[in-house]
Amino acid sequence: MRKANSLILGLLLLLVVSSAVFAQSKILLYTSVPLELATTFAENFMKENSDITVEVFRAGSTDGINKIWAENEAGGVRADVIWFADAASYYTFKDAGLLYPYKSPEAEHVPDALKDEDGYFTAARMINMVIGVNRNLVPEGMEPKTWDDLLEYGSRAGMGDPLYAGSNFAVAAAFIERDQGWSWFERAREANLQVLRGNSDVARGLAAGEFAATMVLDYMIYDLQKSGAPVDFVWPEDGAVSIPSPVAIMADSKNIEAAKAFVDFTLSQQGQALLVKDGVIPVRGDVAPPEGMPTADQIDMMDVPFQWAAENTAEIRETFEKIMY
Amino acid sequence: MPAKSAVKKRSFDIRNVLMVFILLFFLAIIVYPLFLVVVKSVSTKTGLSLENYRKILLSSANMKAFWNSLWVSSVATLLCVTAGAGLAMFVVRTDIPGKSWLKMLLLLPYGIPPFIGAMAWAQLFGPVGYVSRLYTNLTGAFSAPWNIYSAAVVVIVLAVYQFPVVFITISGALGKIDTSLEEASRMSGAGPLRTLIDVTLPLITPAILASSLLAFVGCISNFGIPALLGFRARFFVLTTRIYSALAIPDMTLATAMAVLLAVTAGIPLLLAKRLERRSGKFTVISGKSVRPQTIKLGIWRIPIFAVVLTIALFAGVVPLLSMIITSFLTYWGAPLNSANMTFDHYKYILNLPMAVRAFRNSAFLATLAATITMFIGALVSYMSLRAKMKGAKVLDFMGTIPYAVPCVMVAIAMILAWSKPPLVLYGTIWVILAAYLVRYMPFSIRTTNATLQQVHFSLEEAARVSGAGWAQTMKDVVLPLIKPGLVAGWILVFMPALRELTISVLLWSQGAETLGVVIYNMQDAGYTQIAAALSTVVLFVILSGNAIVRKLSKGEITI
Amino acid sequence: MAKREKRIEVLNLVKQFGDYTAVNNVSFKVYENEFFSLLGPSGCGKTTTLRCISGLEEPTAGEISISGQVMTSAEENLMVPPERREIGMVFQNYAVWPHMTVERNISYPLRLAKKSKREIAAKLDYLLDLLELQGLEKRFPSELSGGQQQRVALGRALSTDPKVMLLDEPLSNLDAKLREQMRFELKDLQQKTGISILYVTHDQVEAMAMSDRVAVMKKGDIVQEGSPHEIYENPKDQFVADFIGTMNFLPCTVTAKTDQGVNVRLGNGAEFGLDSGAERGDYILAVRPEDIVLGSEEGTDCEVDVRIFLGNLIEYRVRLGEDYLRVQTDASLRLEPGDQSRLMIKHGLIFPK
């Protein structure tokens, strides 16, 4: 309620001030960041920038990216800023000329690995693919330590589908790069590892005890733990797959300046601190991570060849289909 | 014998103006957008060609999905039409106890969004579902002997969700049969079973055909159920393939598959139209008002009641309860005890501006969609059936096309048609309204056709002879007579529109969220319990709406 | 008369729908080769009685036998289903099946009876011929006129040569001309086939014209049973008198008993003798229009009010004091409205007030 009240207050204030002094500008954000977090973000941003209104359109990464392509096909993307978890798509967007290059001054604090060298996009959030376990089924000390260990759980282990979930697509790319081929997936198929549609399905199954161990996103486990589910996560010894969730400005935006301000805010210390509250690991070294979580530079990260993955999307998808289905 | 419609030719007829208006409306809102989809499906970088179709036909994965769509929809249709006809028979024509309750229970699945229903089933019968756990605890078995993530369950759940439409249509037809036709058969020496086969079944054949078609199209264009339940079994159908083609992104491939899907659904539609024309001569106006005759079940009364009740509970009540339980759980699949129960999800949605907005938007969209489609549907039916105006048949046909068009294709068509100047609707609530108008127009035309056929010509002619003009006659005689049918039709559009997902999920924008979208997004983001809580609230609203309508119409109209 | 076989016997039939008693203790018999009508206004229970006989309705009490066999007995909880009663039935709305051709409609009972193809063809030929439906075999009912549909229904009912046929107002949906024609055809058919017909109608002219015997029903009871002539001449009460044919009703007083009967005085003071055994007191006098002589030398004064030509007859409405009477005369008597005349009552019945 307080949030809503302050929003209303803020909006009223905004209205009074803006009508007197500025022309109001408006930006539309397409994002896969959980709704509550995205709204908090927008509210805080508007408090700082009273001449800008942010509208949030929240959808899953696949749905949101579908929407962008559909809009592009039909005469122009409406979003000014996008913020999804599907890093590979950003390369495709970049190649299709959909993005506007912007090197935010705040981006200097973000490691190079997490941003595009030409400034078309910068990670504002990091989500990590880790091993999740159900504590009722996997006692302390018995948890799988590596991605190969996960396969020992056979059909009581699961993962999201790279064809639907951008984060899992990144995992596929990383594993192919590491193994120089599809060997992990071939073994997964043999072990009858379950492939579910999205990571939230995987997390749900883990909490309910359908799975003992899964490949899953860190913040989902953090969320479930908070609501009392018997789940925990393990940072795999052979490396987590960290997926930068970049923000980018769309080339079609009519409010480039406002969009730039929003990007700055997401990358700022203040913006990153908001993420930490929700169990998300910040992209900046000068912002402390959530309790019990490592900082970005402490994580053992697997290399993810995003550019290569973006260029070979069709082939990766087809091969995955052939092996797993 | 009805006389020829006594319309005098006039140089200026308001109805011609109306017809041109509706024609333009249909061209703009139905024909043009769908045409764009077809064009897109044959466009390649080098020009127009059938390359995309060749790609589909050559891909074994696509062909498999196509084949899966076909057989799953056929089997599910067969299943739900058999069950629908059988149960309608028992509920309408026998002395089975608790009829009105059974009827309501059997229609319950209509109130639950299919993807929520699928989740509810998974929560009960999934590998660690409550029922499965109960089974393994009781028997000591390692796992339950069923697998919910299988093609068979996709078929069953599809059938359950198409069942209410079939049940409503067939019970309506059964209630209207002149019982003396059946009695005549008994007097001719036929037993009850022979009478059923030789007389009753042929008489309700048009209704069976119509509802089969409806069910088939509903199954083949469903996305939520195969997506949620088929995925784990690595079982794909056309709609799920289209969805992933949109993600690649391969718009042309997606449109080509959508056109393929539409053609697949369109063939049975054309067949049914032909059959309907042939069966048109079966209609005979009976002289006496019908007294519904109930068949006495005797000693079978209670056993049959038990079977019907079990089916009703299984299809409607159990998933509903599962959904309600979920809405109180702290996390999905939590053990059922008081420590794991919470009201937080309800508190959350009641304070969520988006949820409140979605309620308003969905109510607004459903109201407008139902009102506009029923109004235009009534005019089109009137002109084609009554005034027998040249060209009205064309309107009727145009308005019925979307019947065979899957929702995904409607949504794509709207994006293609309404995002470019001069008229940019995309990104506003109006594009969803346009899509709903396309989607629900065939339903309203069918309803108004059926309703109008029951009003005798002479009543209208009496008004004309009494000096009323055409508009006056419509207002004073025709409309009041078809009002109950229109109201029922209105509700049949309003209810599904209120919780529509497949279209709005592709067309929504910030500020223009629908209930279906909010529920789906919650579900997608992992907040199953919040999605369940919102669904429960929506269902509660639908049920109380139903109760109010029932009361106002004195039991004549139910959902 | 030789003792005839009983084809239908109804004994103490009662049928209740909830609190409402539709048929109240009705008994009657229909003999071989007899045309028997149940006649009465709508809601009198005649159709319900017929449906109980057909087996489509289960009676609350009573017993029904057909051709000497008990078909329904509420007391013994016996109920032979309709399809095993071997009766033909024609419904008011014909109930010809819209999804079957004429041919299939008529031959349906034969096919159920597993008759050979040759037998069916022969029977069909005979019936199409009898009912003048040749050339329409392949048509669907919606392509037939009402009269043709009615004949198809008849053909279907007749196809298995039932000994008993039930007809429920089969002519009520036809136009006047066709109705009259069908009356002859039905009677003719019955005589040709020797079948027993139980006929239900609210049209007394129809019942009179065709029936050997008529039972008049009122509110679930049979009020009077007899030949059409008996009922016409001697209606048992005012209801039957009113329902059968045209009847004038006048208030009257029996002033004295005489050797020939009684003396009756009308409202205008006119007195005349009548063949009756009534005691002195106030009564209702019922007189048929043809039992009044208009333009006689003697009798009471009256004034012509309306005149209607019926071709061979003329019907007048005349005023007698406060009362109006319908009178039929032959066409030779020509009076104008307003003319003064006299009339005499030849024959009348006296009912209690």
B451 in C contact zone (CB under 8 Å): no
Helices C146-158 & C176-193, crossing angle to 10 degrees? 20
CATH 3.40.190.10 holds for A2-126+243-298: yes
Top-confidence residue, B274 or C134: C134
CB-closest option in C91, C99, C143 to B184:
C91
pLDDT at A296: 79
Chain C segment 18-77 residues within 8 A of B by beta carbon are 54-56
Nearest chain B residue to C100 by CA distance is B282
Q: Tokens 């009392």: give the residue.
A: A228
Q: Which residue from B393, B438, B433, B557 is spatially nearest to B490, judged by alpha carbons?
A: B557
Q: Domain C6-240 has what CATH class?
A: alpha beta
**Parts of chain C belonging to CATH 3.40.50.300:** 6-240
Taking CB atoms and an 8 Å cutoff, what residues of chain C touch B203?
A: 97-99
Indicate the SS3 state at residue A50.
coil
Distance in angstroms (rounded) separating the CA atoms of residues C286 and C247? 6
pLDDT for res A45: 92
- Which of A57, A89, A220, A225 to mutate: most B Cβ within 10 Å? A57
Gap from A139 CA to chain B (nearest CA, Å): 18
Closest CA to B502 of B269, B170, B161: B161
B37 membership: H or E segment, kind and range:
helix B32-41
**Do the first three CATH levels of B8-39+343-559 and B52-284 match, i.e. the same topology?**
yes
From the candidate CATH numbers 1.10.3720.10, 3.40.50.970, 3.30.420.40, 1.20.1250.20, the one assigned to the domain spanning B52-284: 1.10.3720.10
CATH superfamily of A128-241+303-324: Periplasmic binding protein-like II (3.40.190.10)
Per-residue confidence (pLDDT) for residue B284, from 0 to 100: 40
Other Cβ atoms less than 10 A from the Cβ of B229: the count is 27
Q: Which amino acid is at C347?
A: H
Would A2-126+243-298 and A128-241+303-324 be classified into the same CATH topology?
yes
**Radius of gyration (Cα) for chain C, nearest Å?**
25
The architecture in CATH of the region C248-352 reads Beta Barrel (2.40)
- In chain A, the residue whose alpha carbon lies closest to the alpha carbon of B333 is A208
Position A85 pLDDT exceeds 70: yes
Least confident of B283-292, B312-321, B418-427: B283-292
Query: Hey, is the C-beta of C118 within 8 angstroms of any chain B C-beta?
Result: no
- Vertex B194: Cα angle to B188 and B200 (nearest 5): 90
| B544 touches C at CB < 8 Å | no
pLDDT (0 to 100) of residue B287 = 35
Could you read off the pLDDT of C41-84 as tens digits, one per residue?
A: 988 999 999 999 998 888 999 999 999 999 999 888 888 888 88
| Tokens linked to C342 | 């006299």
Q: B2 at the C interface (CB within 8 A)? A: no
Structure confidence by residue, pLDDT tens digits, A132-176? 999 999 998 889 999 999 999 988 999 998 887 888 989 999 999
Per-residue model confidence (pLDDT) at position B240: 83
- Touching check for B526 and chain A: CB below 8 Å? yes
Question: Stretch B172-183: mean pLDDT, rounded?
Answer: 82
Chain B residues with CB inside 8 Å of C54's CB?
Answer: 183, 187
Q: Determine the residue type at A201.
A: D
Residue C269 has a pLDDT of: 82
Asked if B188's CB is within 8 angstroms of C108's CB, the reply is: yes
Query: Is A70 close to B246, i.e. CB distance below 8 A?
Result: yes
C156/B189 CB distance under 8 A: no
Inter-chain contact A60–B521, Cβ cutoff 8 Å?
Answer: yes
On whether any CB of chain B is under 8 Å from the CB of C99, the answer is yes
The CATH H-level superfamily of B8-39+343-559 is MetI-like (1.10.3720.10)
Residue B420 to residue A74, Cβ atoms within 8 A: yes
Annotated domain spans of chain A: 2-126+243-298, 128-241+303-324
Most confident residue range from B102-116, B185-199, B309-323, B426-440: B426-440
Asked if B190 lies within 8 A of C83 by C-beta distance, the reply is: yes
Cα–chain-centroid distance for residue C185? Answer: 16
- Break chain B into its structural domains and give their ranges: 8-39+343-559, 52-284
Q: Count CB pairs under 8 A between chains A and B.
A: 120
User: A57 and B251 in contact by Cβ < 8 A?
Assistant: no
DSSP C14: E
Average pLDDT over residues A70-84: 84
Determine, for residues C97 and B281 on separate chains, whether the beta-carbon distance falls below 8 Å. no
Q: Pairing relation of β-strands A241-250 and A122-134?
A: antiparallel
Give tens-digit pLDDT for B18-49.
889 999 999 999 999 999 999 988 887 777 88
Q: Which two tokens stand for residue B74?
A: 């056929």
Q: Is B291 at the interface with chain A, CB within 8 A?
A: no
Measured CA to CA, the distance from residue A212 to residue A134 in angstroms comes to 5
pLDDT in tens, C172-213: 877 788 788 888 888 888 888 889 999 999 998 889 889 999
Residue of B nearest to A165 (CA): B247
Q: How confident is the model at residue B1 (pLDDT cuts 50, 70, 90)?
A: very low
- Helix (H/G/I), strand (E/B), else coil: A253: coil
Q: Which chains touch A (3 or more CB pairs under 8 A)?
A: B
- In this predicted structure, the answer to whether residue B190 has a pLDDT above a threshold of 90 is no
User: How is the beta sheet containing C6-17 ordered, strand by strand?
Assistant: C20-31, C6-17, C61-66, C69-73, C78-79
**ipTM surpassing 0.95:** no
Minimal Cα–Cα distance from C17 to chain B, Å?
A: 13
Q: Given pLDDT bands bounded at 50, 70 and 90, which one contains residue A15?
A: very low
Asked whether the predicted pLDDT for residue B164 surpasses 60, the reply is yes
Chain B residues touching A197 at Cβ < 8 A: 227-228, 231
Element (H, E) at C283: strand C281-287
- Parallel, antiparallel or unpaired: strands C61-66 and C221-226: unpaired
Say yes or no for a CB contact (<8 Å) between B284 and C156: no
Chains B and C touch (3+ CB pairs under 8 A): yes
Q: Contacts of residue B510 in chain A, CB cutoff 8 Å?
A: 28, 55-57
Cβ(A185)–Cβ(A169) below 8 Å: no
**Per-residue pLDDT at B453 exceeds 90:** no
Cβ-nearest to A204 among B244, B506, B528: B528
* Cβ <8 Å between B184 and C95: yes
Q: Do C and A count as touching (3 or more CB pairs closer than 8 A)?
A: no
Q: What residues in A contact B524, CB-CB < 8 Å?
A: 59-60, 63, 198, 200
* Residues C61, C12 contacting (CB under 8 angstroms): yes
| Res C141: pLDDT | 86
Does residue C95 belong to the interface with chain B, where contact is any CB pair within 8 Å?
Answer: yes
Contacts B199 to C, Cβ<8 Å: 97
The pLDDT of residue C120 is 94
Query: pLDDT-based confidence at B78, cuts 50/70/90?
Result: very high
Strand locations in C32-121, DSSP E? 35-39, 61-66, 69-73, 78-79, 87-90
Residue B9 above 80 pLDDT?
A: no
Taking CB atoms and an 8 Å limit, are C83 and B191 in contact across chains?
yes
Centre a 10 Å sphere on the Cβ of residue C135 and count the other Cβ atoms it contains. Answer: 9
Nearest CA in chain A to B240: A164
Mean pLDDT for chain B overall: 82
When pLDDT is averaged across residues A239-260 and rounded to a whole number, the result is 92
The C-alpha atoms of residue B401 and residue B394 are separated, in whole angstroms, by 11
Nearest CA in chain B to A199: B526
pLDDT of residue B290: 45
- Which residues share a beta bridge with C283? C252, C352
Interface of B with C in 141-180 (CB under 8 A): 178, 180
Give me the DSSP letters along A176-215. HHHHTSSHHHHHHHHHT-EEESSHHHHHHHHHHTS-SEEE
Give mean pLDDT, residues B528-557. Answer: 76
Position A1 scores a pLDDT of 43
CA distance B196 to chain C (A): 13
Task: Determine the residue of chain A that is closest to B124 in CA distance.
Answer: A208
Question: For testing the chain C interface, which of B187, B203, B205, B208 should be mutated: the one with the most C CBs within 10 Å?
Answer: B187
At A266, the pLDDT band (50, 70, 90 cuts) reads: very high
Q: From first to last of its 353 residues, what are the pLDDT tens digits of chain C?
A: 456 889 999 999 999 988 899 999 999 999 999 999 999 998 899 999 999 999 888 899 999 999 999 999 988 888 888 888 889 999 888 888 888 899 999 999 998 888 999 999 999 999 998 888 899 999 988 888 888 888 899 899 988 889 899 999 888 877 788 788 888 888 888 888 889 999 999 998 889 889 999 999 999 999 999 999 999 988 999 999 988 888 999 999 999 888 888 889 888 888 888 888 888 889 999 999 989 988 888 888 889 999 988 888 899 999 988 889 999 988 888 888 888 888 888 888 989 88
| pLDDT tens digits along B309-352 | 998 888 888 888 888 988 898 887 788 888 888 888 899 888 88
Residues 180-209, chain B: which have Cβ within 8 Å of C? Answer: 180-181, 183-192, 194, 198-199, 202-203, 205
Nearest CA in chain B to C109: B188
CA distance B330 to chain A (A): 6
Of the candidates A57, A204, A207, the beta carbon closest to that of B509 is on A57
| Confidence (pTM) | 0.76
